[in-house]
Amino acid sequence: MPIATHEQYCKMLDNAKANGYAYPAINVTSTSTANAALKAFADMKSDGIIQVSTGGGKFASGQAVGDEVLGAISIAQHVHLMAQKYDVCIALHTDHCHPEKVDSFLIPLIEETEKRRANGQPNLFHSHMFDGSVLPTDQNIKMSQELLERCAKSEIILEIETGVVGGEEDGVNNEDTPADKLYTTPEEMVEVTRALRPLGKFMYAATFGNVHGVYKPGNVKLRPEVLKEGQDAITKELGEEATNWLVFHGGSGSELSEIHETLTYGVIKMNIDTDTQYAYSRAVVDHMFRNYDSVLKTEGEVGNKKFYDPRAWSKAAEESMTKRIAQACKDLKSDGKSILL
C-alpha cells in the first residue's frame, strides 16, 4: 500500500503504547538495506519505521556526491515507491540530527516536505529526530520548540532527546560521557513535556543508561525504571494523557527482559542499526569465504561470474538482514499487529 499517512502513523504509535509493543526502527543506507527492512515487516505482518541518519544519507548519495540531504531524499523516494508493493504501514524517519546539522540537514528535509504538500503530494518523511542532548536543557528545549512548531504545520512528528546515549554511532563519540548524563531525570521529563506538548506531536528519547554499539552481556547498565519514574512524574504533574511516546536508542545487546520492561513504560520505537549492520555484513563474509576461488581471478583463473556478481552476495546479505529484523519484530512484540489487519 502507499506509505503510511500521518493519521496512520499516529494510530501505529498510539496502538503500540496502549498494547505494550514497539516498532523496530531500522537504519538504512541503500536501496538494498531498505528492501531488506520492507520485506521483514511484510513477512511479520508488522508495521515499521525505516530511518536515515546524516551519515546514511551521505553514503546513499555516493562517494562522489556526499550529499546527506540528497541521499536521504533518494532513499525516502525509493521507500515510497516500494512500499506500494507491501501490505503493511511503513513510516519514514530521520535519525540523530545534532544541533550543528539542523540548518544543513533537518531544515532542507522539512522544506522538501513543505514543497511536496504545496503540490498536493504526501510528506516525504513522517518524523525527524533533533538530538539536542549535547546542549544545556533550556537550550535543547528552546530549539526543540522552534522545530516542533514548524514540523507540526506539516504534520511531521518531532523526536527529541534529553540525557546522552553513550558509545559511538555515525561518527559521534559519546564514549567518555559522565555516568550521570546517561540517565534522564523525572524533572527533565516533566519540563520537556510541559514545554512541547502544546505545540505538536513528539516522541521522546529519554535515556536510561543506553549505549550505541554492541557489548558483551553485563557491560551496559540499563535502568528501565528511569522511564517509569519519568512517566509517573508526568502523570502526577500533567495528567496521564500527557505521558509520552518513548524511544529506545542503543538497544543492541540488551537483555530481552529489559527490552520488554521498557515496553510497559511507553516505549513505542526501538532503533536498530548495529545488529542489522552485522547481519548484512556477516552474510557477505560467509559468501566470500565459501566461494573464495570463484569470486577471485587468481593464478590465471577467471573466477565465476555467478559468485562475484554483486547481486549474488547482496541477495544473501538482504536475506540475512531480513531475518534479523523479523526477530526484532518478535522481540518487540509488533509481529502480527499491523493496523491494516
- Confidence class of residue 301 from pLDDT cuts 50, 70 and 90? confident
Q: For residue range 117-146, list pLDDT tens digits in order.
A: 999 999 999 999 999 998 999 999 999 999
Residue 254 counted as domain residue: yes
- Confidence class of residue 214 from pLDDT cuts 50, 70 and 90? low
Residue 165 counted as domain residue: yes
- Give me the percent of the chain exceeding a pLDDT of 70: 91
Which of 145, 185, 195 lies closest to 163, judged by CA? 185
pLDDT on residue 247:
97
What are the distances in angstroms from CA 74 to CA 109, 276, 302? 11, 21, 36
Mean pLDDT of 250-266: 88
Q: How many helices (H) and strands (E) does the chain have?
A: 13, 10
Q: For residue range 139-194, list pLDDT tens digits in order.
A: 999 999 999 999 999 999 999 999 865 444 455 444 444 555 678 999 999 999 99
Q: Is a pLDDT exceeding 90 seen at residue 213? A: no
Residue 60 counted as domain residue: yes
Residue 27 counted as domain residue: yes
pLDDT on residue 222:
85
Q: Is 211 helix (H, G, I), strand (E, B) or coil?
A: strand
Taking a C-beta distance cutoff of 8 angstroms, is the pair 53, 335 a contact?
A: no
Residue 129: which H helix or E strand, with range? strand 127-130
DSSP string covering 250-300: --TT--HHHHHHHHTTTEEEEEE-HHHHHHHHHHHHHHHHHTHHHH---TT
pLDDT on residue 172:
46
DSSP string covering 20-55: T--EEEEE--SHHHHHHHHHHHHHTT--EEEEE-HH
CATH number for the domain including 213? Answer: 3.20.20.70
CA–CA separation, 89 and 273 (whole Å):
20
Residue 336 counted as domain residue: no
What are the distances in angstroms from CA 327 to CA 37, 135, 187, 220, 271? 12, 35, 35, 21, 14
Residue 294 counted as domain residue: yes
Q: For residue range 310-323, list pLDDT tens digits in order.
A: 999 999 999 999 99
pLDDT on residue 250:
78
* Cβ contacts of 336 within 8 Å, gap of 6 or more: 44, 45, 46
Domain that includes residue 269, residue range: 6-331
pLDDT on residue 251:
73
Specify the amino acid at residue 126.
H
Q: What is the pTM of this model?
A: 0.93
pLDDT on residue 174:
42
CA–CA separation, 62 and 116 (whole Å):
24
CA–CA separation, 16 and 20 (whole Å):
6
Counting every residue, how long is the chain?
341
- Confidence class of residue 210 from pLDDT cuts 50, 70 and 90? confident
Looking at the structure of the chain, the number of domains it has is: 1
Taking a C-beta distance cutoff of 8 angstroms, is the pair 130, 106 a contact?
A: yes
Residue positions annotated with a catalytic role: 95
Q: Is a pLDDT exceeding 90 seen at residue 278? A: yes
**All 3 cell numbers of residue 331?**
522481540
Residue 138: which H helix or E strand, with range? helix 137-153
